[in-house]
A and B are shown apart, each in its own frame.
Chain A
Amino acid sequence: MLKGQVLTGGRGKAGIVKPVYSEQQAESFARIMLGTTVKGCPVKKILVTELLDIKAEYYAAITIESGMKEIILIVSQSGGVDIEEIAAKSPELIKKVTLFGVDGEISRERLAEWLPSVLGDKSNSEGAAEIIWNMYRLFWDNDCSLVEVNPLAVTRQGLVAADAKIVFDDNGVSRHPEIAALHNPEEYTEDELEARTAGLSYVSLDGDIGCMVNGAGLAMATVDCIKLQGGRPANFLDLGGSSHPDKVVSSIRILLKNRNLKVILINIIGGITRCDDIAQGIISAHEKFHITLPLVIRLIGTEEEKAGKMLSDAGMRALRSMPEAIRTVVEYAARGGPR
């Protein structure tokens, strides 16, 4: 069995999971797979694994249900590549049970009692209970947000976890250095990697208006409003909270690498982020990089007066209104600069 390794779903349907029966076939499929890109992810690695004689495919996943604040198990006796269609068309074939919630934790015994009614086959239930219980321990021990086995394959030798996906909680990775080490830099563009190292959240887009914003919600709203105004954002950049002037300098350095930029918008509302820290960062970046692009600054909130004075002493000006700042950058981008 050849399985292209990419960090996205839908691999079977994209043709990068294939059974092979000879060396030649393996070679020719591998060549095709290595030239394939699935949802923007190029296939660079292939897992070669034993071809199983699969009689039936189950589905088992442990994940977080955020509404009820629970850890739940989703099981189906109809697993495989069509599981999402089955969930949509025949939801009765998908069963859910709470593993950890308001009533505490389910017991291994209770889980084993519940499974036969779902799988419809007693002979596999004990094996399934064991695999699922191990998945559940893996989930807790490694701060996961998803442990999915699909297919959980029924073979003559019993149940086999034939393929799995695991998603780790971003907030939990810091206490698992062995998982942090699995981080794969190939998944990111150069700019995104640099931003990651600087502790920023950054996504490249294809426009000409560079954006530096504090907070993910405001950053998304800024990008939305630029588009509604007829402009084209070049990126999403969330500076995060409690920012240090150096973070502002790193952000501007990353923005300036983009040759398509016509204007930069800095949209900051200080809460835990102090406007004087931001102003200091802007002034340092200006001195360091000799920025020639127009810089539109919108800066209000904690310590705004101090920041306003620092900027005006450095010959810069901050706007107070976000709509005004958005209108200004979209105009500048259209005309290639102020006036």
Chain B
Amino acid sequence: MSILINRNTKVIVQGITGRDGSFHTAQMLKYGTVVVGGVRPGKGGQKVCSLPVFDTVSEAVEKTGADCSIIFVPAKFAPNAVREAADGGITTIVCITEGVPTLDVIGLCHYLKRKNVRAIGPNSPGVISPGKCKVGIMPGHIHMPGSVGVISRSGTLTYEVVNNLTENNIGQSTCIGIGGDPIEGTNYVELLEMFEKDAGTEAIVLIGEIGGATEEKAAEYIKTSVKKKVVAFIAGRSAPPEKKMGHAGAIISAGMGSAEAKIKALREAGVIVVDRPEDIPDAIKA
């Protein structure tokens, strides 16, 4: 089993004609993902990787039966691309684009919620259910099918952790990069809930970093609602403190945000927090 995507997921690529879009379409096809087409306004009728290109998402959905979209379009056009995907009948959106203005993301989150559409990202490396389906830009070959779920705010740090798991013969059910921006379409708590329910996931790895309070919120949720084993790593323990502007951040976060606060909250929730990414496999096995 896996969460979010599986063998039957039918994927379209928005921004398929660009450098990154076309390269990663080929990579996803090579991995075995069922990519059924792409979208680029004004380039309908062309082909990329032998796949049909459509002018609009709704046309692509109608002709291919796609239910998932991966978005590579530039930041300026990404909010419209997300909206178009949701309006066109896509139910799971993975937004790779980085640099999307935060206020646009907030507006989109509430729009998608009303339409019951799930979004991962923006600024996400995507989602992979090893051996089944890859909707993202992660290197597929470092993954291995198995029963550990991985959730992370970071892209490449996730690859580091996954690589360590695989080299220690620990496979993964699904790995998700939720995105490195202040607002995530789907956050730790929502994914923890899905992993807790997923019969194919036995343990969860949570990779966090300093700033914000999202790891602390995850810790709160784990304490009350997650029975599966959770192992965590928090990056940025040795980072110099950030210059702080205004008091609102301190008022809302009330002492949260630092590596120490996150590690403490997670440990209090029963999570095993390790010092280095390479210590994760032993903690999973223990």
Q: Which residues of B contact A242 (CB under 8 A)?
A: 20
Give Cα A220–Cα B245 distance, bound, in whole angstroms: 22
| Dominant secondary structure at the A interface | mixed
Are A224's CB and B236's CB within 8 A?
Answer: yes
Residue of A nearest to B122 (CB): A171
A40 interface residue per 8 A CB criterion: yes
B82 interface residue per 8 A CB criterion: no
List B residues 94-109 near A (Cβ within 8 Å). 96, 98-103, 105-106, 109
Are A172's CB and B246's CB within 8 A?
Answer: no
Are B239's CB and A220's CB within 8 A?
Answer: yes
Residue of A nearest to B157 (CB): A217
Given contacts A67-B214, A221-B277, A242-B20, contact A84 B251 (CB under 8 A): yes
B145 interface residue per 8 A CB criterion: no
Are A146's CB and B245's CB within 8 A?
Answer: yes
A234 interface residue per 8 A CB criterion: no
Residue of B nearest to A146 (CB): B246
- Out of A74, A146, A220, which one reaches B236, CB within 8 Å? A220
User: What size tier do the contact residues of chain B reach?
Assistant: 35 or more
User: What size tier do the contact residues of chain A reach?
Assistant: 35 or more
B132 interface residue per 8 A CB criterion: no
Q: Which residues of B contact A213 (CB under 8 A)?
A: 156
Are B102's CB and A215's CB within 8 A?
Answer: no
Give Cα A18–Cα B214 distance, bound, in whole angstroms: 39
Interface residues of chain A, those whose CB is within 8 Å of chain B, are 7-9, 39-41, 59, 61-67, 69-72, 74, 83-84, 87-88, 94, 100-102, 104, 140, 143, 145-146, 148, 150, 165, 167, 169, 171-172, 174-175, 203, 205, 213-218, 220-221, 223-225, 227-228, 233, 236, 241-242, 268-274, 300-302, 304, 322-323
Interface residues of chain B, those whose CB is within 8 Å of chain A, are 20, 23-24, 27, 75-76, 96, 98-103, 105-106, 109-110, 113, 125, 136-139, 142, 152-160, 163, 180-183, 187, 207, 209-210, 212-214, 217, 233, 235-240, 243-252, 254, 275-278
